Amino acid sequence: MRIPFRILAAIALFLCLVSCGNRRHGTASSRSAAVPETHGRETVLMDTASFFTVSELSDEVFSRMQGKSFKEGGPVSRQDLRYLKVLHKNLEGETLHGEMVCNKLIADQLRELFLELFRVGYPIERMRLVDDYDADDEASMMDNNTSCFNCRFIQGTSMASKHSLGLAVDINPLYNPSLKHGIVRPSCAIPYTDRDASFPYKIVRGDPCHQAFLSRGFVWGGGWASSKDWQHFEKPWSEFLKRESL
């Protein structure tokens, strides 16, 4: 059968257009296969992590602490402590620089934990050393300041707090107060002892903050039976004994 030339020409033109179209799409897809995009995303993540650091206490940091959060004769030495620098987001989504002093035993865990909270956008309003408040825990809590190390007793007792060892962290303390023997700290936080109410910066069981600490072996003061300390996460000694027996 003879096929007219103009039909053959039309078929050839059609096949050419289809073929060119596929090549064009193929080129575009492999470009977005993401060599530049993936590379870009990895670069951003790497840069973010570089803002989360752990270091020994510099002379400048230690002089801020002396006679305030750090007291001679306290249960830990300067060499036992580490200085963390992190990023965090507040409720408005702004990125802020934060700092914290903690025990060297949990420094790397906290660095990882705050990086995780930053990446999911978990809000933390403020992270400064308590020394900026003359190590006055009430003043630090009233300012909703997240902190860790402070050489002090457990409220109303003569027992050293886990904060004296740098093994406890208080997160957004104004909105997550402590309630012990009917006393609320900070004293202005009575409305936030109603844990069924809705308000910002509230820690609840299973939220990213609670999960980040519990998955790393911390205990939450909001889960205690006899008193409540919703801001408080601490590392129990049993966690260290467990690690040494591995």
Report the interface residues with Zn ion, using CB under 5 A: 168, 170, 232
Residue with the shortest CB distance to Zn ion = 232
Select from 147, 151, 113, 152 the least CA-distant residue to 127: 147
Q: How far apart are CA 127 and CA 96, in angstroms?
A: 9
Torsion of CA 152, 156, 158, 163, to 10 degrees: -30
CB of 169 to Zn ion, least distance (A): 7
Cβ burial 110-128 (10 Å sphere, 16+ → b, else e): bbebbbbbbeeebbbbbbb
| 21 Cβ contact list (under 8 Å, min separation 6) | none
Q: Cβ closer to Zn ion: 9 or 188? A: 188
Going by DSSP bridges, is the β-strand pair 53-55/183-185 parallel, antiparallel, or unpaired?
unpaired
In the complex, minimum distance from the CB of residue 168 to Zn ion, in angstroms, rounded to a whole number: 5
Least distance from C-beta 72 to Zn ion, angstroms? Answer: 23
Q: How far is the CB of 197 from Zn ion (least distance, A)?
A: 22
Q: Which is nearer to Zn ion, 130 or 168 (CB)?
A: 168
DSSP 107: H
Nearer to Zn ion, 119 or 128 (CB): 128
Cβ proximity to Zn ion, 61 vs 168, nearer residue = 168
Sheet-wide strand order for 178-180: 183-185, 178-180, 228-229
| CB under 8 A, 24+ apart: contacts of 233-241 | 233/168, 233/169, 233/171, 234/162, 234/167, 234/168, 234/169, 235/105, 235/106, 235/162, 235/167, 235/168, 240/105
Nearer to Zn ion, 215 or 227 (CB): 227
Closest of 56, 121, 55, 115 to residue 87, by C-alpha: 115
Q: How far is the CB of 170 from Zn ion (least distance, A)?
A: 4
Q: How far is the CB of 231 from Zn ion (least distance, A)?
A: 6
Pairing of strands 232-234, 168-170: antiparallel
Nearest residue (CB) to Zn ion, 52 versus 218: 218
CB of 28 to Zn ion, least distance (A): 55
Nearer to Zn ion, 117 or 168 (CB): 168
